[in-house]
């Protein structure tokens, strides 16, 4: 077998492994969209959105100082009107993200101190904050906080991830520029499954 043939076989094998990884990830996310028959009870769209947001934490990378062990916890923050029930939040409590135990903090509608915001790893922004987004984004600027919402056009306005209900499914948009400004990177596998929004336009 020639060197060229070995190279082609190796290249095909690497692509096959990569493709399998993408397929497995798609199946994993699809399990959230189409739960198996044994898990459908109580899994409404709000619960699926919460689980999606938690999963994004698994496939994101924050600056080292944000997730080092001295922080002791991974903070999942909810600002404004929360679509999540206490049962949903209890389902997430006790899980780990980036090797840190997940804790959930809920803040009422309105502005919260910047030092509190900066401690959040993920910030889910509720519908009640849709008219305060510009102020909120200005305060979040340069903070390593992953912003997620189901507010319409959230990613077009500068938010990082928008969750969208579409014919019984949940899909998502990602604004990579907002991620970059916050020093957060997202797995390429997730990026391939998302609608990419840049400069207020879908690519």
Q: 50-90 pLDDT, tens per residue?
A: 888 989 999 999 998 888 766 789 999 999 998 888 888 88
The per-residue pLDDT of the chain, averaged, comes to 79
pLDDT of residue 200: 63
Q: 29 and 67 share a domain? A: no
Q: Which of 116, 121, 117, 106 is nearest to 75 (CA)?
A: 121
Q: 19 and 103 share a domain? A: no
Domain count, the chain: 2
pLDDT of residue 203: 54
pLDDT of residue 99: 87
Q: 104 and 180 share a domain? A: yes
Distances (CA, A) of 194 to 46, 117, 155: 19, 26, 12
Give, rounded to a whole angstrom, the gap between the first and last alpha carbons of the chain. Answer: 43
pTM for this predicted structure: 0.78
Q: 62 and 83 share a domain? A: yes
Q: 28 and 80 share a domain? A: no
The parent domain of residue 7 ranges over 1-34
Q: Which of 92, 129, 89, 128 is nearest to 106 (CA)?
A: 89
Q: What is the pLDDT of residues 26-47, one digit of tens each?
A: 434 444 443 333 333 445 788 8
Q: 62 and 7 share a domain? A: no
């Amino acid at each position: 077998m020639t060197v060229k043939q070995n190279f082609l076989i190796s290249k095909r094998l690497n692509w096959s492994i990569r493709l399998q990884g993408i397929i497995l990830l798609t199946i994993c996310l699809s399990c959230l969209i189409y739960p198996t028959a044994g898990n459908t009870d109580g899994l409404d769209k709000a619960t699926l959105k919460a689980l999606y947001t938690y999963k994004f934490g698994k496939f994101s990378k924050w600056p080292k100082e944000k997730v080092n062990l001295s922080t002791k916890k991974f903070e999942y923050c909810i600002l404004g009107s929360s679509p999540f029930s206490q049962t949903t939040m209890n389902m997430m409590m006790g899980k780990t993200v980036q090797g840190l135990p997940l804790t959930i903090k809920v803040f009422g509608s309105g502005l919260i101190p910047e030092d509190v915001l900066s401690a959040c790893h993920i910030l889910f922004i509720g519908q009640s904050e849709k008219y305060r987004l510009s102020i909120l984004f200005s305060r979040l600027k340069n903070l390593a906080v992953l912003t997620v919402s189901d507010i319409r056009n959230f990613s077009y306005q500068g938010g990082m991830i928008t969750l969208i209900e579409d014919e019984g499914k949940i899909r998502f948009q990602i604004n990579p520029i907002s991620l970059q400004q916050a020093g957060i990177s997202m797995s390429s596998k997730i990026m391939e499954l998302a609608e990419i929004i840049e400069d207020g336009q879908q690519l």
